[in-house]
Structures are given as structure tokens and as C-alpha cells.
Copies of this chain bind each other. A is one copy, B any other.
Amino acid sequence: MAASSSVNAAQAIVGLAVSSHGSHSADRVAVPAGGFALSSLAGRSLTCSHSPRFQQQRRCPRQASRAARRAAPARAAAVETLEAAATEALVEKSINTIRFLAIDAVEKANSGHPGLPMGCAPMGHILYDEVMRYNPKNPYWFNRDRFVLSAGHGCMLQYALLHLAGYDSVQMEDIKQFRQWGSRTPGHPENFETPGVEVTTGPLGQGVANAVGLALAERHLAARFNKPDNEIVDHYTYVILGDGCQMEGIANEACSIAGHWGLGKLIAFYDDNHISIDGDTEIAFTEDVSARFDALGWHTIWVKNGNTGYDDIRAAIMEAKAVKDKPTLIKVTTTIGYGSPNKANSYSVHGSALGAKEVDATRQNLGWPYEPFHVPEDIKSHWSRHVAEGASLEAEWNAKFAEYEKKYKEDAAELKAIVSGELPAGWEKALPTYTPESPADATRNLSQQNLNALAKVLPGLLGGSADLASSNMTLLKMFGDFQKGTPEERNVRFGVREHGMGAICNGIALHSPGLLPYCATFFVFTDYMRAAIRISALCEAGVIYVMTHDSIGLGEDGPTHQPIEHLISFRAMPNILMLRPADGNETAGAYKVAVLNRKRPSVLALSRQKLPQLAGTSIEGVEKGGYIVSDNSSGNKPDLILMGTGSELEIAAKAADELRKTGKTVRVVSLVCWELFEEQSDEYKESVLPAAVTAKISIEAGATLGWEKYVGGKGKAIGIDRFGASAPAGRIYKEFGITADSIITAAKSL
């Protein structure tokens, strides 16, 4: 089937145009820069929700919308109609290709979610074929538009699009291996498995918050680096989210702050299909979503016919791009499982294969005569231009960057570091050092000294707190606040939105390898953001979690604010570093480790209370995870080994002093990061914690579970296996027995 080679009017105005299909030449239609060509349309509301003039529902997708035609260059009306119809037929065929790739892959795996890809194929096609700027052969090209499928269960939509667009990561064989062991097409989108996937989604609401982070990164970098004559940073962030994402609190958190920041280049498609797993959303979700987004400061648009109203989708994107001071929510009303005659619009098409019979019926219904996994030649040919176009887009940008580099040398170097992720040589020399004579201080304050020292040498360091900046001590003193009017600044004010904060930082981290986001709250409130922290670990986002008030040492706020089980709960989480530094040197060590681990997030547990600078602590020690802080034994045979972390290392050191006075040989070990210690050689571990020494005592103001690993069957773990209490910190330490006396008593009993 042949299709017209001309540019559809509506397509032309969206951004990318359809080049001569069938030709593999590199001739490209000029691409307007980042939507600026559309500014003449700013302010024209095409399908604004709540507006009565958009109540009509069109059912004739092949006819280009009047709005689109008005915006098109003048040409002979008859020719236009013919061409548009032919192109639109190709578009519909492409959309059905996407639908059937999803249907067939889910059917073969007998597992997955066909409903969303079938309903969202039109917006997916328009985004990847007509709107987005990317280079399939370099999925990591810096200035690409970002796309996030927040409704990650619909991942076959994204795999189909990546395949059609020419990404090497999703070959036909990968699609056929959907959800199988070792495939690049896992059950939810995973950036670490599939180049072209930006973030890891599936747990609902995470993706839209990641998208806010991606958009924040773009806004920040654009403000820092763009020049009047060279807008070197310039891309959009698109996200598709469903009813499930909309119900999640994290989505509201992230969208509220996105509205506050006015992230105009964030464009969200809300797949409004009225179906969730339990059935019609009527049973649990009847709020007015668009009105809520209006309240959050977003621009909102409603596309009432997302199934076949292609021009409405295009017009909505055009409108969204024209609104530069607000993010846009395009509510796209779709039918889940569109095309399936018996299962569309029901929960049964959400998360199960259609079944052979219904697949056949859907083929019939949508007029799809092909074998499973077939991509028609004209569709292949149509999409094939993206490889050449993508290469040109990147080449163009590279040329632009070369210009930039000539004119703005320092900025270019900084931007290059952010793009590449290369750390500046000698950056670690900025880390502060301490001696036992340095004043006692809370590790949260020492953390701030580190952050401020690092901000001078790491151009990608930015972050902030969930409304506890003055408690978490996270302000970078040389910078102002990242705000709508000052997006070039680096102190991010997240508000009391811990969960959103974590996911936004994941987005920032995954935007560019050189961006180092940190975020902060009280350690106990990692419970609020645990799902986002887990995604950091899984998706290899090297976020730095600055978690202060890390124990009963916070005192009077009481058990709701005192972490107990949190250290062990992160030690058990894969691919994350749980660091609990004891003083200045260990805090510096923790930051060194956190900065170096760009594919593994770090959680720093920091004290509210003052702690002395201990003799024997070191950055190098922290890098090993566990090390000897002091010892008066020889031959690796102390009478007793005392282990501690963070604020309790001081107590262990005191107890050791007392016990040594009685003639004992006592070793004090800091186990500041269990994960790093486990990575050391057996020899090293034995040199620190010899198996032959059974008198081992640990002390930590947290749950004892897990410490059996180090104290062994004959040792003793001193800790807290109950909730905390509201009282001055010293009193709680005493009442709970987190004292040198407890260690001495335990030592006598061993």
C-alpha cells in the first residue's frame, strides 16, 4: 500500500514532518527549534477542557481538523484533501501496527497488558513519528526529547515504538521475547535493560514524577547554559500516565511542584480510559482530574476522542508547546483495548492476553490481515527515515555545540562535564578533613560542609530538602533557589513531598550522567519515599539521600520521628549504599563514596546531635565500609571487638578506653557501610573481624536484627528493638541502655 509523500498539514505544524517516505536519503525537512516556531499560536485555546465549545465529539479522524487546516500553509484544497487522506491512512496503519505488535507479544508471552497500548497507540505514534526529536542510533544523545511511560504496564507500546523508530535495543526478536528471561523487553520499562527507555516505571506514579525531574533538569541546564545566540539545551519531556498514576499521591506531589515551578516543556498525556484493574473508575475515582490540575497551576486540554482524533491530539500538543510558563496536562479520552470487539472498555483487557479467539476478532475488526509480529513494508519504510533524521539532529546539535564551545569556553566545559558524567580531576581534594582537635559537631552540619565544598567543584550537584532545609542542613550557600524565575540556581525547595522528591531526583539523575541530585528529610521519613528510593537502586540512579535525625538522638519529637528499623531495611535493599558516618572524616568519606557511585544510590544517615571528631577515622576507612578505628592488641587477636556506626562509634570508643584500663585488649571497628565491607576481600574482612575472636559486641541505636552476621553466635548486639520515646536525647539513650556501661556489662558477660 502506497501513501502520499507529502507532509500532512497537521503534522507539519506539530514539529517533525514526514519526509519523502520510501526514500532513505538524509534529506530532512527543516525542524523548527524546540517549538519556538509555534509561538504565534500561543494563547489560542484549541481544545481547552471545561470549555463548552469543545463538547462535540468527532468521529472522522481522516479529515484533518479545521483548527489544523487553519494553521497550515495555503495550498489547493483538493490536493490537500487527497494527500491528507492518504497520509492519514498510513498513520492509521502505523497505529494498528503498534497495536498488533503489543497484542501479539502479550499473546505469545501469555502475560502482559495489551489494553493500554491498544488505546494509546495513536498518541504513541504521533509522539514518536511526528513530534519527538531523538536519534535511534544514539539513545543517549543529550538534547533528545524525553519520553516516560508512567503507566509502565503498557510497556509494549514503548517497545513497539522503539522498534519502529529504529532503536537497536528492540529488534523484532526482542519483541518476540517479551517478558522472557534475559530479554531486553521486560514486563515493565527498565532503563538499565533497554536503551531508549529513560527511566524505570511500573510502580504507579513514579514515572510522572521522574518526568518532572527530567523537565527540571532541562529547565535548569537551559537557564544555566543557553545564550541569546545559542540555545544549546532545548528539549521537551513527554509522559503518558493513566488513571492508576493519577490516583497515587506521589503524582499529585510531583505535579503540584511542577506547577509551582512552571515547567512549560513538560507535556503529560493522561490516558483517560475509565478502567482500572478493579473495573470502572466510577467505583473509586470520580474526582475532576482536569480541575485538580488547573488548581495545581497546569494548563489543561481535553482531547475527547483519543482513539481516532489524531488531529485533536496534534493540535493539543501544539497548544501545549505554545504554553511556555506552565506544564500541560492533555487529558486524552481513550478506549482501553481499542479494537477488541468483545473486551475493549473492560478491565479484562487491562492485564491479560486477549486469547486467540479475541485476537482473531480484533484482527477482523481493525482490518488487519497480517501474521503475528508482521510490520508491513510501507510502515517500515515510513518509519525508516528516523534513523537518518536522528543522526542529522544530533550532528546539527554537535555543530551547534562546537559553535558554543568556541564562544563560551568555560560554560562549554561545565556542560560537557554534565553531559559526559566525567568528574573533574582532583574533585575529591575539595572534601574537608578533620582532626580529633576539630570541634565536635553534628554529622548533619558536617554534611553541609561537604555539600558546600563539593558544589564548588561538581557542576552537576544540585538538590534540597522536603521542607527541612534548616534541619537537614542542605542549603548550598553560594546558590539561590531553583524557582520559576531563577531556574539556574541549585537549591531545590521540594516542599513536604518526600515521595515526589525522591522520584524527581531519579529523573534528574537519569537526565544526564553528570547531574548529581541530592535530597533530604528526616531518616524516619524514608518510609514516605521508600518506593522511589527502591527505584533509584533498581534503575541505577546515583541519587544522594541526605537523611538526618537518624536515631533516638533527635530526642523530644518522639517515636513517630525516631528511626529504629531503617538502617537494616536499607542494608537489605539491593544496589544501595547505607552509610552512617560517625564524625567529620567519615562524613567526608561518605560523600566521596556517594559521588563515586554514580550507578548506585547512597543513603547517608546523619545525626542531629553533636559528635566528637574521633581519632582513627578516615575517608579511606569509609571506602572499605568497615575498618579498625583503634586497637591495643597484636597478632589480630584482641580479647574483644567493639563495633559501632554513626553516633554510637563514640560510645564504643569510650567503652574501649574503659576496658583497656582493666588490661583488656580491645579493638574498635567502624562498620560505616556494610555493603562496601562485604565487597572487600576475605583477607581484609578477616583482618578486621577475625573469626577466631568470638567476643564481639555491636552497638547501634537501631534494630539489632542483622547484627548477628558480625557479632556471631557468641557475641552480643546492643540496640533498640522497640519504638522510641519522647524525651531529651540523653535521657532516652540512658533509658534504652545505649551506653558505654551497657557495653562494659556485656563485655564482662562474654
Contacts and interface: CB of A to CB of B under 8 A. Distances in A.
Contacts of A721: 574
A736 to B, nearest CB: 11
Nearest to A243: B496
Interface in A262-299: 276-278, 281, 283-289, 291-292, 294-297
Contacts of A712: 713
A249 interface: yes
Contacts of A565: 569, 572-574
Contacts of A187: 556-558, 561, 726
A79 to B, nearest CB: 46
Given A499-B249, A572-B705, A527 B531 contact: yes
Given A181-B731, A260-B284, A276-B467, A726 B188 contact: yes
Candidate in A180, A556, A691 with the most chain B CB atoms within 10 angstroms: A556
Contacts of A706: 568, 572, 705-706, 708
Interface string A473-515: 0000000010100000000011111111000000000000000
Contacts of A200: 560
A535 interface: yes
A136 interface: no
Nearest to A492: B284
A214 to B, nearest CB: 18
A247 B188 contact: no
Nearest to A203: B560
Interface stretch (A160-168, A250-258, A392-400, A449-457): A250-258
A38 to B, nearest CB: 27
Contacts of A91: none
Contact of A295 (B152, B202, B295): B295
Contact of A252 (B243, B252, B291): B252
A571 interface: yes
A204 interface: yes
A256 B260 contact: no
Contacts of A531: 525, 527-528
Candidate in A296, A498, A569 with the most chain B CB atoms within 10 angstroms: A569
A141 interface: no
B179 A727 contact: yes
Nearest to A209: B249
A287 B296 contact: yes
A468 B726 contact: no
Interface residues of A, number: 110
Nearest to A249: B249
A145 interface: no
A655 interface: no
A526 to B, nearest CB: 9
Contact of A277 (B284, B470, B557): B470
A534 interface: yes
A355 interface: no
Given A247-B496, A277-B468, A572-B565, A735 B181 contact: yes
A330 B38 CA distance: 43
Nearest to A569: B569
Interface in A699-715: 703, 705-706, 708-709, 712-713
A284 B296 contact: no
A482 to B, nearest CB: 10
Nearest to A250: B249
Nearest to A200: B560
Contacts of A559: 186, 190, 538
A6 to B, nearest CB: 42
A247 B721 CA distance: 32
B248 A496 contact: yes
A573 B183 CA distance: 37
Candidate in A289, A470, A568 with the most chain B CB atoms within 10 angstroms: A568
Interface string A544-585: 000000000001111111001100110111110000000000
A525 to B, nearest CB: 7
A530 interface: yes
Given A247-B256, A465-B278, A467-B277, A560 B572 contact: no
A471 interface: yes
Contacts of A556: 109, 111-112, 179, 187
Given A292-B292, A497-B249, A527-B534, A560 B111 contact: no
A542 B723 CA distance: 16
A548 to B, nearest CB: 13
Contacts of A499: 249, 528
Contacts of A465: 278
Interface in A194-227: 200-204
Interface in A398-420: none
B723 A538 contact: yes
Candidate in A469, A723, A732 with the most chain B CB atoms within 10 angstroms: A723
18 contacts: A111-B556, A181-B735, A183-B727, A187-B561, A188-B560, A247-B253, A249-B250, A278-B469, A281-B495, A287-B295, A288-B295, A291-B295, A292-B295, A292-B296, A538-B723, A568-B569, A575-B723, A713-B713
Report, nearest first, the 5 A-B pairs whose CB atoms are least far apart. Answer: A249-B249, A284-B495, A186-B726, A291-B295, A202-B560
Given A277-B468, A569-B569, A574-B722, 9 more contacts: A186-B725, A187-B556, A203-B525, A248-B498, A284-B467, A292-B295, A568-B568, A568-B705, A691-B713
Interface of A: 109, 111-112, 152, 179-183, 186-188, 190, 200-204, 243-245, 247-253, 256-257, 259-260, 276-278, 281, 283-289, 291-292, 294-297, 347, 465, 467-471, 481, 483, 493-500, 524-525, 527-528, 530-531, 534-535, 537-538, 555-561, 564-565, 568-569, 571-575, 691, 703, 705-706, 708-709, 712-713, 721-723, 725-728, 731-732, 735
